[in-house]
Amino acid sequence: MKRDLQRLTIMFFALIFSLSQAFSQAPADYYSSTQDLSGAELKLSLHTIIKGHTTFPYTSSGTDVWDILKLSDRDPANPANVILFYTGWSVNAAQEYANGAGWNREHVWAKSHGPFSEDVKGPGTDCHALRPCDISVNSARNNRHFDYGDFEYLDGGVPTGCMTSSARYVWEPRDGQKGDVARMIFYMATRYEGGDGFPDLEVVDYIPANSAEPKHAFFTTLMEWNKIDTVDTFEMNRNNVVYSYQKNRNPFVDHPEFIDRIWGPPVIVENVLPHIANISYSPSIPTSSDILRFTADASDTDGTVQSVRLYWGLSADNLLNYSEMVLVDNEYTASLSPQTAGSEIFFAIEAFDNDDAKSTSEVQNFSIGSDNTSISTVGNPGFIYPNPASSTIRVEHKSSESVNICTSSGKILMQTRDNTIDIAHLSKGLYLVQIVDEAGRTKKSGKIIKE
């Protein structure tokens, strides 16, 4: 009975506190120094106002981040619960992490993009950009940048309303939280300007080549989200709650128009992109025992090439694996371990310059044969004749199989099921011929010379 009375008393005062916070606002003179300012001057003025806030530990026996989030993100319909960011699900607040069965704390500005530790009393524990989150949804978002996705993320088959992508490293929150994300990201970029021993955070319009850079994307999208999802009562209330602890506010919740006054319309700066050429791989007809070697040239006329990457995968829309290419004898090179026989390898090259602009090559692909794949002698493959040839060739294959005519680097130029193939339009040189079965596996490969 006594415990029940204590619980009701705590809930009563918590509710009174929440209601009072919902109707409170910033002190009358809080933003007085920002009058008539814009651009960098306004950003500096806001930074001066909100810097040096009172910090709290991430986890502690005293007041910590857990305690603040239980109030800032309290479920208005159930004061014992918190609303989870991204999904909107309501869960018991007191359980906290609960050995993975509860909820955790999402760094909306991913802490790896800094980087900064969650134990750093500053960007790592700033409750203006920390939200309660479902543990597995938090893991799925990982440190993805914010932009529009391609398909909905299902959490164990359950719809979340969030979108992601297999081709691009991005995360799209639900419509009702897009503006929240934007205002938290711009808050971090204003609060942390390189002082206090913390990184100088910036919002950019590209995915940085190095994920540890103190940058978060995508600027243009976040500017748009600030407009299409306006500040609501829940967001205003949490700004007040965090202010009651940290003694600083998120100015973009109080004044969303400050974002436009600082950053304005996105300025597009003309930049000559890096140039990628002479892409090749070897061996030209790889088997499952071959190490694959990729090479490319990269240059930049208005700066320097900072890095070149090989992206690859098993389908054209899933190039999520990458390797940094190394500059050796004026060309960039990377190697991959032997791949499974019958698999199709898709790859592209990306080059980044010193202005963080990038170029991406076309996606190319080739097949991996087995060690006992029938490959005829170069210049005299028995299933292709005549060889050399100037106008037509005859390729012996089954009616269920198809023929690929490829460049020496593996790019497919022609696909046909015919046995007699017109090659008169091809330039003189060396070409690959592949016989592919219905499952897409390369059964035979050879080379021809076009005269």
Residue-wise pLDDT tens digits, 408-447: 767 888 888 898 899 988 888 888 888 888 777 777 777 8
Do 275-367 and 374-450 agree at the fold level? yes
User: Is the pLDDT confidence value at 29 over 70?
Assistant: yes
Residue 119 near residue 58 (C-beta atoms within 8 A): yes
Query: pLDDT tens digit string along 52-108?
Result: 999 999 999 999 999 999 999 999 999 999 999 999 999 999 999 999 999 999 999
Q: List the chain domain ranges.
A: 34-263, 275-367, 374-450
- Please confirm whether the linkage preceding 76 is cis (ω < 30° from 0): no
β-sheet bridge partners, residue 358: 352
Measuring CA to CA, which residue among 181, 178, 193, 180 is closest to residue 50? 193
Q: Closest by alpha carbon to 84, among 190, 173, 153, 196?
A: 173
Tens digits of residue pLDDT in 282-299: 887 788 889 999 999 999
Q: Is 410 left (phi over 0), alpha (psi -120 to 50) or beta?
A: left
- Stretch 26-38: mean pLDDT, rounded? 93
Phi-psi region of 45 (alpha: psi -120 to 50; beta: other; left: phi over 0): alpha
Q: Residue 81 and residue 432: Cα distance in Å, rounded?
A: 64
Cα–chain center distance at 262 = 25
Please determine, for residue 14, whether its predicted confidence score (pLDDT) is greater than 50: no
pLDDT-derived band of residue 160, with 50, 70 and 90 as boundaries?
A: very high
pLDDT one-digit tens code per residue, 188-215: 999 999 988 899 999 999 998 888 999 9
Q: What integer is the mean pLDDT of 181-191?
A: 98
Task: Write the pLDDT tens digit of every residue in 215-245.
Answer: 999 999 999 999 999 999 999 999 999 999 9
- Count of other CB atoms within 10 angstroms of residue 424: 9
Residue 81 C-beta-side C-alpha neighbours within 13 Å: 13
Whether domain 374-450 has CATH 3.40.50.2300? no
Q: Is pLDDT at 377 greater than 70 in this prediction?
A: no
Here the tokens at position 380 are 């005299």
Q: Is the pLDDT of residue 15 over 80?
A: no
Q: What pTM, to 2 d.p., does this model score? A: 0.59
- Residue 157 above 70 pLDDT? yes
CA 382 to the chain's CA centroid: 48
Element (H, E) at 274: none
**Is residue 331 a contact partner of residue 284, using CB atoms and an 8 Å limit?**
no
Give the burial string for 265-287 (b: 16+ CB within 10 Å, else e): eeeeeeeebbebeebbbeebbbb
Tell me what pLDDT residue 315 has: 85
Split at pLDDT 50, 70, 90, the class of 177 is: very high
Residue 11 has pLDDT above 90, yes or no: no
DSSP 331-379: EEEEEE----TT-EEEEEEEEEETTS-EEEPPPEEEEPBPTT-EEPPTT
pLDDT-derived band of residue 6, with 50, 70 and 90 as boundaries? very low
Question: What confidence category does residue 385 fall into, taking pLDDT thresholds of 50, 70 and 90?
Answer: confident
Strand pairing category for 429-436 and 402-406? antiparallel
Q: What is the dihedral of CA 431, 436, 442, 447, to 10 degrees?
A: -20
CA quadruple 190, 195, 196, 201: dihedral positive or negative?
positive
* pLDDT given for residue 370 in this prediction: 65
Torsion 301-411-432-327 (CA) sign: positive
If pLDDT is split at 50, 70 and 90, which confidence band does 267 have?
Answer: low
Fold of the domain built from segment(s) 275-367: Immunoglobulin-like (2.60.40)
List, for residues 306-361, the tens digit of each pLDDT value.
999 999 998 888 888 999 999 998 899 999 999 988 888 899 999 988 877 889 99
Q: How confident is the model at residue 12 (pLDDT cuts 50, 70, 90)?
A: very low
Taking the CA atoms of 354, 165, 230 and 191 in sequence, report the sign of the dihedral they define: negative
Q: What is the average pLDDT value for the chain, to the nearest integer?
A: 87
Q: Which residues does 83 contact at the CB level (< 8 Å), separation at least 6?
A: 73, 74, 75, 89, 90, 132, 234
- Identify the sign of the CA torsion 160, 164, 170, 176: negative
Q: pLDDT tens across 40-52, in order?
A: 999 999 999 999 9
> Is the model's pLDDT at 362 over the cut of 80?
yes
Class of residue 16 by CB neighbours under 10 A (exposed 0-12, middle 13-18, buried 19+): exposed
Nearest to 367 by CA among 312, 285, 311: 285
Residue whose C-alpha is closest to residue 376's, from 437, 445, 433, 432 = 445
pLDDT-based confidence at 376, cuts 50/70/90?
A: very low
